[in-house]
Structure 1
Amino acid sequence: MTQAISLLDHTKHGHLKIGAQDLSHLHDQHIVPVTLHEFPRVAVEFPIVFVKNTETGEFQAVAMLGLKPGQNLYVNDGRWSGLYQPHVVRDYPLGLILNPEVEDKVWIGIRDTSPIVNQSEGQALFNGDKETEFLVARKEALISHFQQDQVTKHLLAKLAELELLESQTLTVEIKGEKRNINGLYLISEAKLTELSDEQFIELRRLGLIGPIYSHLTSLNQIQRLAQTEASL
């Protein structure tokens, strides 16, 4: 999702519509961000792992859509072949614009160079200078997803504080060839069992027990990705 995003403004974008979903921009994206709130649904289809920003040290939860960079096994001819679409996929071509100098405030943006943004077909964004019901609903979803993302960042920091996120190498076998996947972090089951009662209770209080086990269960989906790639 590298397309430039601009501040949504009815004077500039009042004539625009959003057409049918086309996810061609994701065809070579092998991971997408997900929030903890999505874990139960994501885990049924995709492996959930964590990646670390080497500059900030922050962790991010992502769903794996492929087993190597440049590979997306769930987008074909611009269409999504999975059952569940992560929020970041559904929100496109809209998005949020943040100003690091203004805390607790976000603006709605649009990737107006997207091929599904046009002037003739799809859902209108404005009716005159008023937002359409479609845009109001999309904005509400964006704000909700942003709030979930902020909660996720806070809670992943707690997992990092407890040293539960551990760098690991995943090994998969595809058509008899073994492949190592590096740069990923997983929750260490061994360290999880070593937590004190107080630490475990704190994780439960924060609502992290469910997401932790959703993550661990989701790792079984790695074999699904391997089988999908092998069938191509």
Structure 2
Amino acid sequence: MPQLLNNITHKDLRIVTERGAQWGDNFMSAPVTVDEFRRVQAHYPIVFQPDGKGGFVPTALFGLQEGQNLFLTPNQDGWDADYLPLSVQRLPFSIGVADDELRMMVDMDSRRISDGARGEAVFMPHGGTTDFTENANAVLQTLHEGLQATTEFVQALMDHELLEPFTLDVERPDGTHGQLAGFYIVHEERLAALDAGTLGLLHQADYLLPLYMAIASLSNFTPLIKRHLAREAA
């Protein structure tokens, strides 16, 4: 259960900033905002995950099965990519509402909560926030602002039926197959068939670039599969 961050209860709190499975980074995907697509597509496939409420969440894939993060180094103590999605960067912090204001929350059950001197201090000895905490708060604000734009972007895709389900087939060296299913991708043919007026509206809304970035990101499936097969063979 997240707690409202304060300099009394959490005066000695420290956060581990290293990356690895032991710190809870062994997840196969993470949500991303539309503003991140340019940076995300350089490393990860961008797919759209049903949210269970009739909508979709843009998602960066790190693995091909639950609990698998192929960007963790083989010894599980580093992250092999130059960009981390905001939803990963912000951990173990989140945004909550208290007294009708957005406030910073901390998940005290996170493995990133340090039990000693290890990690970054959240508060200075006199009670002020550290540069680490200010940066974490800035990440949260950017993420919060990006979510609204992302909701509108996804709604536009749904209005124009620009998402289609897909299944990824992975052939192993022994001839057996594995599949990744349950996600959606941008429907390239339908996008290409849109009339000039609709394309103009999407362009005015700054949606065309992220659409093409999402399509371009799918080329990352090939190196992701290579990582997967290498990890299986190890």
Distance (whole Å) between structure 2 residues aligned to residue 203 and residue 66 of structure 1: 31
Shift of the 154–120 alpha-carbon distance from structure 1 to 2, 3 Å rule, reads same
Which position in structure 2 is the counterpart of 1:213?
Answer: 212
**1:229, distance to aligned residue in structure 2 (A):** 1.3
Aligned length: 224
Matched, 1:41 2:45: no
- State the alpha-carbon separation in 1 of the partners of residues 210 and 25 from structure 2: 26
Aligned pairs (5 A) from 1:47-86: 47-54=45-52, 56-76=53-73, 77-86=76-85
Match for residue 227 of structure 2?
228
Are positions 1:174 and 2:172 aligned together? yes
SS at match of 2:165: strand
Instruction: Tell me the equivalent position of 2:12.
Output: 15
Superposed counterparts of 1:60-209, under 5 Å: 60-76=57-73, 77-98=76-97, 105-118=101-114, 119-127=116-124, 128-175=126-173, 176-209=175-208
- Identity of paired residues, percent? 27
Return 5+ residue gaps in structure 1 as ranges: none
Instruction: Structure 2: state its 5+ residue gaps.
Output: none
Deviations, residues 62-97 of structure 1 (Å, cap 9, x unaligned)? 011111222211124242122221111111122222
The Cα of 1:179 is off from its aligned counterpart by 2.6
Equivalent residues of 1:31, 1:65 under 8 A apart: yes
**Letter in structure 2 aligned against 1:71:** Q
Secondary structure in structure 2 of the residue aligned to 1:198: helix
Q: Which moved more, 1:73-82 or 1:83-92?
A: 73-82
| Partner Cα separation in structure 1 for residue 204 and residue 113 of structure 2 | 43
How far apart are residue 98 of structure 1 and its match?
5.0
CA contact (8 A) 1:22 1:116 kept: no
- Which range moved further: 131-140 or 161-170? 131-140
Structure 2 distance, partners of 1:227, 1:39, is 23
**2:221 & 2:131 partners in 1: Cα distance?**
39
Distance 2:97 2:135 in 1: 20
Indicate the RMSD between aligned Cα atoms, in angstroms. Answer: 2.0
**Shift of residue 200, structure 1, vs aligned partner:** 0.6
* Deviations 1:150-198 (CA, angstroms, capped at 9, x unpaired): 2111111111111111122222323233333211111111111221211
User: TM-score under structure 2 normalisation?
Assistant: 0.87
Do the aligned partners of residues 125 and 70 (structure 1) sit closer, same or farther apart at CA in structure 2, a change above 3 Å counting?
closer
Separation in 1 of the partners of 2:132 and 2:179?
44
Is the Cα contact below 8 Å between 1:174 and 1:227 reproduced in 2?
no
Shift of 1:110: 1.0
Q: 1:146 to 1:193 in 2, by over 3 A?
A: same
Cα 1:23–1:146, aligned 2, differ >3 Å: closer, same or farther? Answer: farther
Deviates most, 114-123 or 143-152: 114-123
